Amino acid sequence: MSSGKPSIASGQNETLSQNAHHHHTSPSPPSSEKQPVETHPPNPSTLENNPEDPSPSETSHLLRLIDLRLLPILAALYSFALIDRTNLANARIAGANSDLGLDIGERYSIVTMMFFIPYILFELPSNILLRKVGPAGWLSGLATLFGVVSLGCGFVGDWRELLGCRVVLGALEAGFYPGCVYLLSCWYVRYEIQKRFSVFYMVATLASGLANVLAYGLSQMEGTAGIRGWRWIFIIEGLITVALGLVSVFIIVPFPDKATKKGLFGRKAFLSARQASIVMARLEKDRGDAVSDEMTMRNILRYICDWKVLEWAWLYLIAATVSYSFSLFLPIILQNDLGYSTVRAQVLSFPPYAVAAPWMLITAWIGDRYRKRGHLIIFNNAVALIGLAMIGFATSSPRARYAGTFLGVAAGNSNVPTILTYMHNNIVGNTKRAVASAVLVGASGISGIIAANIFRQQDSPGYKPALITVIIMNASSVLLVSKNFWLYRKLNRKADRGDILIEGEQGFRLTL
């Protein structure tokens, strides 16, 4: 990246100080000349000496190649990770409730909640191992194993065995989503990443909606081979996950600085030296961290305690709480509280997710095109607030409540990739990106615990305490992002004057 554009609106924040933590010894005032800043030594295995600048068509072709190898397989795997995580609601209304005694006391909420405790604890260790083991081996291994556990849920004898499976499932799924987010963020520059995050998450969101329809179809296998229909939901969906996990080891690509090395079993390298040098040069120009920095415990702890990372984690927790609230409880609310049959409840769970898909793509295009993140977060929060209010207070009108789910699902899910991008745009350093990704997704695990505990059966049909809680959380998100508009502008102005370095990088500016 260059130092000659002091007003670049970007974002990556590690530390704001008058003494840089990297190679800079003191801030220098902005100049009109482009002065490349060497933040890392070049990697001789991927960076060529003075490579010829690529043409726009060459860059576009390379991006398409990366998109095709990264997005479809990661989106497919995460879709089934999400399905395996949330299919408990469909199994419950298909008969698991009475068979396993989930309708007694708070057993269902306990089984739902216990998934998220190991999910939170294993996020960061998994992302550390991802860098050491490599994406193909680590992510495919996790997917295969959590597919096996999901399949095993179809053979449990009581709710305690199901609880044990959910705990193991949480531990295995913990590293998958943050690993995917981290891998994607390592390949793209700041203002093309939200579209990729949104496509990745959109596919999973659609799959989550379609999972309700799939679950209904699988539940119709009632009695096949002497097995209950709800068990077939776990068995078939688990088998699909295992198959995808086994295949993915041959598809998932390495990190950019390893892209010229041969793959498993001597397979051809993903990129040529020329292609890898283009990718690395784009990343270096964009944010100065093409080559990975050292992952030490001191750095990890420092990044965890960064106030900006903690703020983004709170924003992400809020967005994920809205998302989990609908994915975990929408079929149940439709059946028990709006009076729909099991079939209609499962089928009617999909349309809100179908609306969420184009919503996410449109907001992603706007965000990348105009380099805005906070504005979109506030807009989505406002829409989600309206939807949640309709669900909570229009209890005499089932149609109005159902309409509210469209707004809540679309806006809540759209904020998930938007907040991930907000974080990504304001961070420099691959280690910090790995840590921040794990912290944010770990916060989403806390949101799962919140959602599992605030939607109590005794509060139906309105679920007012739960919805008021989520409404207040959304309002706090609006206030926090509004505060950042003022603060980020102030810090950018200080950097323009040469008073501070943002993230220890000359010319780096925070994205609003």
Share of the chain above pLDDT 70, in %: 87
**Is 80 exceeded by the pLDDT of residue 498?**
yes
Contact 323, 413 (CB under 8 A): yes
Q: Is the pLDDT of residue 353 over 80?
A: yes
Which residue has tokens 């709800």? 230
Helix boundaries (H) for 220-350: 229-248, 273-287, 297-304, 307-332, 342-347
**378 has a pLDDT exceeding 60:** yes
For residue 8, report the phi and psi dihedrals to the nearest 5 degrees.
-60, 125
**What pLDDT was estimated at residue 337?**
65
| Distance from C-alpha of 286 to C-alpha of 491, rounded to nearest angstrom | 19
Q: Which DSSP state fits 427? A: -
Residue ranges of domains in the chain = 56-502
Per-residue pLDDT tens over the stretch 149-166 = 999 999 999 999 999 999
> Which residue's structure tokens are 């298909």?
94
- Residue position matching structure tokens 């990372």: 309
Report the predicted TM-score, pTM, of the whole model to 2 decimal places: 0.82
Looking at per-residue pLDDT, the higher value among 336 and 435 belongs to 435
Q: Is 480 exposed, middle or buried (0-12, 13-18, 19+ CB in 10 A)?
A: middle
Predicted confidence at residue 106, as pLDDT, reads 83
Please tell me which residue, 95 or 24, carries the higher pLDDT value.
95
Interacting residues of 168 by C-beta distance below 8 A, sequence separation 6+ = 118, 149
Q: What is the pLDDT of residue 10?
A: 37
Exposed / middle / buried, residue 435 (Cβ in 10 Å: 0-12, 13-18, 19+): buried
User: Is CATH 3.30.365.10 what the domain over 56-502 is classified as, yes or no?
Assistant: no
pLDDT of the residue at 1: 41
Is the pLDDT confidence value at 427 over 80?
Answer: yes
Q: Which alpha helices (DSSP H) does 92-228 contain, by range?
A: 97-99, 107-114, 116-121, 123-133, 135-152, 159-173, 176-185, 193-219
CA distance 426 to 432: 11
Confidence of residue 365 (pLDDT cuts 50, 70, 90): very high
Secondary structure tally for the chain: helices H, strands E: 20, 2
> Which is more confidently placed, 119 or 210?
119
What pLDDT does 371 receive? 92
- Please give the pLDDT value at position 38: 37
Average pLDDT of the residues of the chain:
85
